[in-house]
Amino acid sequence: MHQVSLPLSVAVVTLNEERNLPRCLESVKDIAAEIVIVDSGSTDRTLEIAEAYGAKVVHNPWPGFLAQKNIAHDHCTQEWVLALDADEWLTLELAQAIKSRLTADGPAKPDGYWLNRRNLYLGDWIWHAWYPEWRIRLARREKGRWTGRDPHAFMEVDGASERIREGDFLHDSYRDLAHHLSVTISYAKVGAQAYEEQGKGFRWHKFLFSPMARFFKTLILKQAWRDGWRGVLISYTSAFSVFAKYAFLLEGRFKRARERQPNKRL
């Protein structure tokens, strides 16, 4: 780890991320006083890579997206925390902007910063379907907390926040289309389970109309068509993610009904 003056921890959760982790950690090594890796059982070179960058490694069985990200946050010791996924990294411009914000004198700083994420998808950058994509990822440790619903947890800040407009943080979203569809199904299952746990069961009108609404929003309102065939694929897979979530909720409803009345045809 390089000697740096920023009071900044970088928090990353990992599971078999040897492909992505070096790029992530390389982008923050010159601004982070501390790197915290919370790993849920990697069997590849993830831990070796983390140790090579001087990271503090915490082993914790997977409790879900939201819980694991908060565990990583809680193990940070610096005043500021930058949260990244292993397949995300900073542009040099954004790294410099973060450094300038955290070292600046003058008026009181906000308690959190919104950063803009740009996605690489099937070999090219997406400028419409998933962009801009503002997310709070940099916050004072005592003011930031992960919230929301699995698998789409997000950070909130108890206080003022501002946008950093210089540079993006980058996301290598999916290896290929098969990976995209696999992750979509996996996340839909997790999302359906989260809905069930919160008492939000299956709704026919959501099942029938929400996928179409998502497709229209992505393709037309977000102008995904301007991203070419990649934008069309994103629009369809986005609609499919909504369909799959409600399909899993529907399947769960019939499974429970069958368990209550095993001899009744459903």
- What is d(CA 29, CA 244) in angstroms, rounded to the nearest whole number? 39
Residue holding tokens 């193990």?
A: 75
Q: Which domain holds residue 156?
A: 8-173
- CA-CA distances (angstroms) from residue 103 to 59, 60, 83, 94, 234? 32, 33, 19, 14, 39
Q: How far is CA 43 from CA 15, 56, 205, in A?
A: 8, 18, 43
Residue where a domain terminates, one of 130, 158, 173: 173
d(CA 43, CA 59): 12
Q: How confident is the model at residue 105 (pLDDT cuts 50, 70, 90)?
A: confident
What pLDDT, on the 0 to 100 scale, is given for residue 199? 81
Domain co-membership, 47 together with 147: yes
1 lies in a domain?
no
Q: What is the mean pLDDT of residues 47-66?
A: 97
| 8 Å CB contact between 234 and 227 | yes
**How many structural domains does the chain have?**
2
pLDDT at site 46 = 98
pLDDT in tens, 124-178: 999 999 999 999 999 999 999 999 988 889 999 999 999 999 999 999 989 999 9
- Specify the DSSP class assigned to residue 33: S
Q: How confident is the model at residue 261, as a pLDDT? A: 76
Of 120, 152, 173, the domain-final residue: 173
Q: Please report the pLDDT score of residue 256 as a whole number.
A: 80
Instruction: Say which DSSP state 108 is in.
Output: P
Report the CATH number that the domain containing residue 98 is assigned in CATH. 3.90.550.10
Give the residue-averaged pLDDT of 22-45. Answer: 97
Instruction: Give the amino acid at 5.
Output: S
pTM of full prediction above 0.85:
yes
Residues 230 and 248: their CA atoms lie apart, in Å, by: 26
Q: Are 139 and 112 in contact (CB under 8 A)?
A: yes
User: Which string of DSSP letters, residue by residue, matches 207-259?
Assistant: HHHHHHHHHHIIIIIS-GGGGTHHHHHHHHHHHHHHHHHHHHHHHHHHHHHHH
